[in-house]
Amino acid sequence: MVSVILCLLSLYPLQNNINEKRMIIDDSFRLTSNEVLHYGLGAFRGGENISILIEKQTMTPVNFSVVTYGKVHFMQEVGKSLNYSFVASTDYYEAYFEAGPQTNDRVSFKVLVESLEESSPFAFLSLPAKLSFFFSWLLLCFMLVVCIHRSSPKPLLNRILPKNNHVLILFTLLSLLFWCIILSINNHQLGTLENWYSDHARNPYSTMLFLKFGLRVFSSPLSQLSSLDFSPYKFVTWPEMPHLYPAGSFCIFFPFGFMLENGFSTIVIFKSEILLFVVVAHCCLYLFLKHFWELNSNFALKMLAIYIFYAVLVVYAVNGMFDAFALLFSLVAALLFLREKPAASILFFTLSTTLKYQAGIFLFPIALLSLMQLLKTGKKSFKDWKLAVSFGLLTVDTYTAFLSAPALFNARSQLIMNPINLFNMHSQISWCIQCVLVLLAFTVTMMTVNMLEQNKALQFLLVFSLFPCFLMPYFQPWYLPFFFVYTLLSQNRRELNITLVWVIALSLILSLGGLSFNPLQVFNNIIAALRPT
């Protein structure tokens, strides 16, 4: 607790009542025929003066707009140059460039922010506080691993085998049918529920860049690589970042990227992608509920947990997020661990990590516990082909993560959007609110760990989760389903209730009150998607 408080104190901002101008973006890239480029300006607290300067080499017009969620603040056709300023509100802003069919132009894009200068009078506490927290966390994890090794727990899966699947199958199929209908009549140009998220439009293009530039996609900004490419389909988001997903993601998006590059209808391909994501999300939903529903727990807690799981899994799949693929492998890995099949569990863990780094980050303890199970079975088990495949995949994942890590951890302050980041100020919320959220997350986690004294494996999972939650520059709501995998390790009603309280509390904290899965918001988004454009 002391190290957490010191870390927060080191972030304390002191305003000096002096205006300060900072260049937050200074980039140059080439726009080619029909290219779409979305540049994240970042999240702002409100009151900052934002100045945008665009200079082009030719007079060929390019459509430019500044947007926030659900609103276009500025739109103009840019000829040779543009100078635009505005006062930011408390929101996240993006700049959209849309090129015409005759475009082949080099663009200089600069963004300046004028705001009150801030200093950190207690910044000298940062390094000792970080080291203290890290070593305390590492020591606690080590102690729990030693306890697990000595106690040799044997989780039993037979306690969670389902009695009847008919209702669950019907619910899953009806849900899938509903979202398929919504998807088929959706009028948004990206095919998504909210017409805001665009991962499904970017990732096929990133896949084609990988085929052309190889491993450079993991270390070079995408705008730099796209400037060297003249493909007929180009959709770039987060252009200052490299491809931030593992190599396995290319296997999902290659067919779609190939079709888009060869002139297939974009809206048909986008909806085909989303349909695939929704189907896989419902496979996850069925597999999870099949084992979760029969667990004995408080009914209200169980229903609330199921709703949150459904919303952050299925609704974001309809928004073009492919995390369901990694979650499916993660669920299988956890169930294989419970069946005491460690080699197979490790294989499915590595498959999930090869699709999404977050699966490896949050479920690493299950892989470690599976490895401990394996050690007890004897040396012959290490000759299993599953371990050789796992080792190869993890080597590739580690290398690509190493290539991408500098860009991720050197992200601009405007892109720090994790409300419980312990080492950086959130770009939007105040220091006081961030302190409350961090301390709340830490307190809830440690109290939960203390109450789960009979389940060292679950304690280890919760303690381990603290570090990535506090370290990640940004945390998205669609990462939350990975936490629900933890509930499958509960041994009795009391443990499950305690774990559910923790999962629900952390979901609300990390999503800033659960606004992203508010049922009224989801309903309004469905209505908006069905309106004629």
pTM of the model: 0.91
CB 415, CB 474: distance < 8 Å:
yes
pLDDT tens-digit series, residues 265-292: 999 999 999 999 999 999 999 999 998 8
Calculate mean pLDDT across residues 70-86.
89
Is residue 251 in some structural domain?
A: no
> What's the Cα-to-Cα distance from 367 to each of 32, 360, 490, rounded to whole Å?
45, 9, 17
- Cα–Cα distance measured from residue 81 to residue 244, given in angstroms and rounded to the nearest whole number: 32
Q: Report whether pLDDT(425) > 70.
A: yes
Is there a domain that residue 65 lies in?
Answer: yes
Residues of the domain holding 62: 22-113
In a domain, 216, yes or no: no
Residue 24 half-sphere exposure toward CB, CA atoms < 13 A: 24
Report pLDDT for 520.
Answer: 84
Cα–Cα distance, 388 to 358 (Å, whole number): 22
Out of 47-56, 227-236, 407-416, pick the least confident. Answer: 407-416
Number of Cα atoms under 13 Å in the Cβ half of residue 523: 3
Structurally, how many domains does the chain consist of? 1
| Cβ-contact 280, 329 below 8 angstroms | no
Distance CA(403)–CA(338), nearest Å, equals 34
Q: CA triplet 371, 375, 380: central angle to 5 degrees?
A: 115
DSSP state of 417: B
- 344 lies in some domain: no
Residue 142 near residue 149 (C-beta atoms within 8 A)? no
User: Is residue 214 a part of any domain in this protein?
Assistant: no
- Is 36 within a domain? yes
Beta strand extents in 148-241 (DSSP E only)? 235-237
Average pLDDT in the 118-145 region? 87
Residue 499: inside a domain, yes or no?
no
Q: What digits encode the pLDDT tens for the residues 468-525?
A: 888 888 888 889 999 999 999 888 888 899 999 999 999 999 887 556 677 888 888 8
Q: Backbone phi, then psi, for 160, in 5-degree steps?
A: -120, 15
pLDDT of residue 3: 85
Whichever domain contains 55, its CATH number is: 2.60.120.680
26: in domain: yes
129 contact partners, CB below 8 Å, separation of at least 6: 3, 6, 7, 9, 10
Q: What is the pLDDT of residues 303-357, one digit of tens each?
A: 999 999 999 999 999 999 999 999 999 999 999 998 888 889 999 999 999 999 9
